[in-house]
Amino acid sequence: MNKLYVLALSASLASPLAFADTKPVSIDNKPAFIASLMKQMTLDEKIGQLRLISIGPEMPAKEIVKEIAAGRIGGTFNSVTRAENRPLQDAAAKNSRLKIPMFFAYDVIHGHRTIFPISLGLASSWDMQAVERVGRVSAIEASADGLDMTFGPMVDIARDPRWGRTSEGFGEDPHLVSEAARATVRGLQGKSASAPDSIMASVKHFALYGAIEGGRDYNTVDMSPMRMYQDYLPPYRAAIDAGAGGVMVALNSINGVPASSNMWLMQDLLRKDWGFKGVTVSDHGAITELMRHGVAKDNREAAKLAIKAGIDMSMADTSYGAELPGLVKSGEVNIKDIDNAVREVLGAKYDMGLFHDPYRRIGKASDDPAETNAESRLHRDDARDVARKSLVLLENRNQTLPLKKGGTIALVGPLADTQIDVMGSWSAAGFLKQSVTVRQGLQNALGQQGRLIYARGSNITEDKKIVEYLNYLNWDAPEVVQDPRLQVEMLEEAVKAAQQADVIVAAVGESRGMSHESSSRVSLDLPANQRVLLEALKATGKPLVIVLMNGRPLNLTWAQANADAMLETWFPGTEGGNAIADVLFGDYNPSGKLPITFPRSVGQIPSYYNHLRLGRPFTPGKPGNYTSQYFDEENGPLYHFGYGLSYTDFTVSDVTLSSQTMQRKGSVDASVRVKNTGQRDGATVVQLYIRDVAASVVRPVKELKDFRKIMLKAGEEQVVRFKIDEDKLKFFNPKLQNVAEAGAFDVQIGLDSQNVKQASFDLK
Ligand code: BGC
C-alpha cells in the first residue's frame, strides 16, 4: 500500500456516499487517520468494533461473515488457519461499508504449531533468551496462520498451587515473572507488532488473578495495596513497558470490585499511572458476569459499568451490542466513552499493520500451506533445546543419573507414552501426533543399544468422577483415555517389567487437564493409584527414577524419600520426550531451577519464599517454643524456590562488595566466584537476593533482584558481578511511593534461594 492511504480511495471500493466529503489523510499519521475514520462511522459501526467473538459454538461461520460485513464484529478468536480467516477478512476489508479490517486472535501461550514447555517450565530455564525465542517462534508460526494477536503472556503471580492455572504462568516471584513477561513480549512483537511475522501481545489477566482465595478458580481476591504493588502488579507493568499492545482484564473481583468494572484498576492505575495506550479486552463473558458478581442488576447496567471502566472490547459477550446503543441514546453513556474504546481498537489494528494491509498475515490463497500440520512448519530444534533447559533435576542419589545407553530399562507409568499430555494445556494448535512421548524419546536415544520394556502400570487415576470431569473439559477428543484393564493387572505387568530391568523410569504425575483453567485441586498428591504403582516398583529394589509431568508443585514427600533420582519435566511440549531422554542419558546436563516453591503438604500453602518477616519466626530444632510453625509437619518447603541440581558440582565463593556504603543514585557491585568443581561441563543460575534489614514497614525475608545463567566447563571458574543500585532497594511504602530507605541491606548470592553467601552494606 502506498504512503498516502486515502480514505476516499478505499471509499471507491465501498459505498460511494460514505466518504463524499473526506479529505485525503496520510496513513503515516495515526491519530489523524483514526480520527478521520471515526468521523465516518455510525454508532452501530463503532459498537461493532468493540465486539470480539469466538469462532465456534457461539455462531455458525456463515452468520459470522454476514455480521462482519454489516460492521458488527471487530475481531475474532479461535480460527487458526489462513483459509479460515481469509473469508472473514474479505467480509470486513472488502465487503463492509468502511472496510475496516478484522483482527484474528488466539491463545498462543507456549507455542503455536510447535509446542514448547508450559510457562512454568519456561520459567524453570531462567534463560530469558530462550523465553524470548519461544515468543519469536510462536509469533512466526501464528502469523503464518493468519493470526494477529495472542492473549498472552499470562503473568499472574501464583503462590497457591491448588490453582490449576499455576501451569500457565511463570511462577511465584515478581522479578522472575517480570523478566519472563518482558522477554515474551519482545519475542512475540519482535521489532514491531506491525511486522508480518509478529503478533501483538495482550498481557493477562489484569489483575491479580493468581491470588484468588484458596486457589479455587474464579474466586475473589482481597489484598492490601502494598502487597499488590510490591508483588503482584510488577509483571503486568513489565509487559506493558515492554510494549504489549493489549491487556486482557481478569475475571475476578479485587477488594470487592470486579476487575471488569473497576475504575481504579482500569483508569487510575492502568491508563493514568502506567500510561497504557493500547487496547483492553474483557475475558470470556466477563461483562455479563458482572450481574453474577452482583454489581449490575441487568445486562444494561453491566455494559454501562464495563464501558465506563474502560473495557474496550467485550469477549464472547453480547451486552455491548445489545445495550450500548440504548445507553448512548438515553445519555447514560457518553459517546466519548464509546469513542475512547473505538479509538483503542482501531489503534491496535493500526499497530498490527492491518490498515496498511489487512492480509499481511493471511497472505494469498495460492501461498497457503498445503498441509497445516506439515512437519516442515515446525521448529523442532528450538523446541528440544528449550525443553532441555526447562527440566529440573530434583534428586540424584548415588549418581543414578545419567543412565547408560545399554542394559535394560523398564519404562512405566501413565505419562510415559501419551502424546496429548506432553503438550500441556493451552496447546490446541499443536498437533498431538507430532509430539514425542518419553517412550519415543528414550527409544530414539537408545537406537539399537540396550533394551526398553514398556508397561503402562496404571491409569492417571481410577477415580471415575475425576476422569469424567477431565474429559468434559475437552470437546474434541477425550483428554484422558482409560486402560480398561484392572489396576492389579497393569501393576503386575509393570512389576514384571521392573524385575527384568537394571533401572526403572516411572513417568507419573498429572494429566495436562488436571493443571488447567477450572482445574483447581484440594490435594497436591499424586493420584492414589499412581502412588501404589510407585510403591510396588520401589519394592522390587531396582533403582527408581521418577519422571514427573505436572503443571503445579505436587506433594512429593514420599517420592523425595524413595526415588533414586527425580526429574521435574512439567509438560515439556512437542519435543518433550527427546529432551527428557537427553537429560536422562546425560547428553544434556540439567540446569533448570524451580520458579515456585514445592510445599510438603497442602496445609502449608501459601508457601512462597519471599514472605514477610515475623515477630516469632520458626526456629529449626525447637518445636514447642511458640514460633510460627505447624507442629504436625516438618517446617519449610520440600523444594525451595530457585532449587535444581546438575550432574556437575558448583561452588560459590564469599560475596565481595565494591563498597560497604552506597550513596543515593550510586551503586555497589556484589561479586562471587563460581566454580565448576565436577567432572562435566554444566550451566547454573547465580541468584542475587536482597534483604532490607530494618525499614519503616515489614519487608520480606529476601527478594530476588537479579540472576545470571552461566555455562562453565569442568574445572572452570568465573566471577559473576551484580550491580546493585537504588532501584533494587526500593519498595512501596504505605503511601504507595516507591522508595529506598537508608540503612543496612543484606546481599545474598547463591545457586538457590536458601544456600547463599551473605554480605552487607549501608544505603546512605
Ligand atoms: C480464559 C482466558 C482466555 C480466553 C479465551 C478464558 O476462559 O480465562 O485466559 O484467553 O478464555 O480463550
Start-end of CATH 3.20.20.300 domains in the chain:
107-351
Distance from CA of residue 227 to its chain's centroid?
A: 21
Note the pLDDT of residue 478.
Answer: 87
Is residue 339 part of the annotated active site? The answer reads no
Residue 477 has pLDDT above 80, yes or no: no
CA of 131 to the centre of ligand 1 (A): 21
DSSP string, 709-727: EEEE-TT-EEEEEEEEEGG
- Quote the percentage of the chain above a pLDDT of 70: 96
Residue with the smallest CA separation from ligand 1 atom 10 is 151
Query: Residue 316 CA: which ligand 1 atom is closest?
Result: 5
Q: Is the dihedral angle over the CA atoms 738, 672, 647, 543 positive or is it negative? A: negative
> Given the C-alpha cell 474496550, which residue does it identify?
312
Note the pLDDT of residue 82.
Answer: 98
Predicted model pTM: 0.97
Q: Using 50, 70 and 90 to split pLDDT, how confident is the model at 473?
A: low
Note the pLDDT of residue 472.
Answer: 84
Which tens digit of pLDDT belongs to each residue from 165-203? 999 999 999 999 999 999 999 999 999 999 999 999 999
CA of 352 to the centre of ligand 1 (A): 21
Cα distance between residue 457 and residue 576, in whole Å:
21
Note the pLDDT of residue 619.
Answer: 87
Which tens digit of pLDDT belongs to each residue from 688-704? 999 999 999 999 999 99
Strand pairing report for 756-763 and 743-750: antiparallel
Nearest to 386 by CA among 552, 591, 554, 686: 591
CA of 184 to the centre of ligand 1 (A): 18
Query: Residue 154 CA: which ligand 1 atom is closest?
Result: 9
Cα distance between residue 721 and residue 707, in whole Å:
10
Please name the helix (run of DSSP H) or strand (run of DSSP E) that holds residue 576, with its range, or none.
helix 576-584
CATH class of 650-763: mainly beta
Cell of 398: 548415588
Cell of 567: 526429574
Residue with the smallest CA separation from ligand 1 atom 4 is 284
Which tens digit of pLDDT belongs to each residue from 85-121? 999 999 999 999 999 999 999 999 999 999 999 999 9
Query: Residue 205 CA: which ligand 1 atom is closest?
Result: 9
Catalytic: which of 173, 231, 283, 385? 283
- To test the pocket of ligand 1, the residue of 283, 473, 474, 518 to mutate (highest count of ligand atoms within 8 Å of its CB) is 283
pLDDT average, residue stretch 439-463: 97
Cis peptide before 740, with omega less than 30 degrees from 0? no
Q: Using 50, 70 and 90 to split pLDDT, how confident is the model at 337?
A: very high
Cα distance between residue 164 and residue 180, in whole Å:
20
Which tens digit of pLDDT belongs to each residue from 239-267? 999 999 999 999 999 999 999 999 999 99
Query: Residue 78 CA: which ligand 1 atom is closest?
Result: 12
Is CATH 3.40.50.1700 the right assignment for the domain spanning 380-596? yes
Cα distance between residue 723 and residue 244, in whole Å:
27
Residue with the smallest CA separation from ligand 1 atom 12 is 107
- The amino acid occupying position 587 is D
CA of 278 to the centre of ligand 1 (A): 19
Start-end of CATH 2.60.40.10 domains in the chain:
650-763
Nearest to 641 by CA among 210, 176, 305, 81: 176
Residue with the smallest CA separation from ligand 1 atom 8 is 283
Q: How far is CA 465 from CA 9, 468, 470, 471, in A?
A: 61, 5, 9, 10
Note the pLDDT of residue 476.
Answer: 67
Higher confidence at residue 318 or residue 748? 748
- To test the pocket of ligand 1, the residue of 284, 519, 520 to mutate (highest count of ligand atoms within 8 Å of its CB) is 284
How does the average pLDDT of the chain come out, rounded?
95
Residue with the smallest CA separation from ligand 1 atom 7 is 284
CATH architecture of 107-351: Alpha-Beta Barrel (3.20)
108: Cβ contacts below 8 Å, ≥ 6 apart: 138, 139, 142, 147, 150, 151, 152, 188, 199, 429
Burial of 716 (0-12, 13-18, 19+ CB in 10 A): middle
Burial of 495 (0-12, 13-18, 19+ CB in 10 A): buried
Note the pLDDT of residue 14.
Answer: 36
Residues 226, 176 contacting (CB under 8 angstroms): no
CA of 439 to the centre of ligand 1 (A): 32
Note the pLDDT of residue 15.
Answer: 34
- To test the pocket of ligand 1, the residue of 151, 163, 236, 317 to mutate (highest count of ligand atoms within 8 Å of its CB) is 151
CA of 428 to the centre of ligand 1 (A): 13
Radius of gyration for the chain, computed over Cα atoms and rounded to the nearest angstrom:
27
Cα distance between residue 215 and residue 201, in whole Å:
26
> Given the C-alpha cell 473481583, which residue does it identify?
253
Residue 386 has pLDDT above 70, yes or no: yes
Residues 520, 216 contacting (CB under 8 angstroms): yes
Start-end of CATH 3.40.50.1700 domains in the chain:
380-596
Ligand 1: lining residues by beta carbon, under 6 Å: 107, 151, 204, 283-284, 517
Residue with the smallest CA separation from ligand 1 atom 6 is 284
Nearest to 594 by CA among 637, 633, 565: 637
Q: Using 50, 70 and 90 to split pLDDT, how confident is the model at 131?
A: very high
CA of 106 to the centre of ligand 1 (A): 9
- To test the pocket of ligand 1, the residue of 52, 53, 54, 107 to mutate (highest count of ligand atoms within 8 Å of its CB) is 107
Residue with the smallest CA separation from ligand 1 atom 11 is 284
Cα distance between residue 324 and residue 307, in whole Å:
9
Note the pLDDT of residue 62.
Answer: 83
- The amino acid occupying position 202 is S
Residues 530, 508 contacting (CB under 8 angstroms): yes
User: Poorest-confidence range of 2-11, 162-171, 531-540, 597-606?
Assistant: 2-11
CA of 320 to the centre of ligand 1 (A): 19
Query: Residue 248 CA: which ligand 1 atom is closest?
Result: 10
Q: What backbone torsions phi and psi does residue 642 show, to the nearest 5 degrees?
A: 85, 0
* SS3 call for 421: helix
Cell of 605: 500453602
pLDDT average, residue stretch 634-642: 97
CA of 251 to the centre of ligand 1 (A): 9
Q: Which residues pair with 692 in a beta bridge?
A: 745
Note the pLDDT of residue 4.
Answer: 36
- The amino acid occupying position 189 is Q
Cα distance between residue 212 and residue 733, in whole Å:
24
Note the pLDDT of residue 11.
Answer: 38
Note the pLDDT of residue 474.
Answer: 63
Q: Using 50, 70 and 90 to split pLDDT, how confident is the model at 624?
A: confident
Residue with the smallest CA separation from ligand 1 atom 2 is 283
Query: Residue 251 CA: which ligand 1 atom is closest?
Result: 8
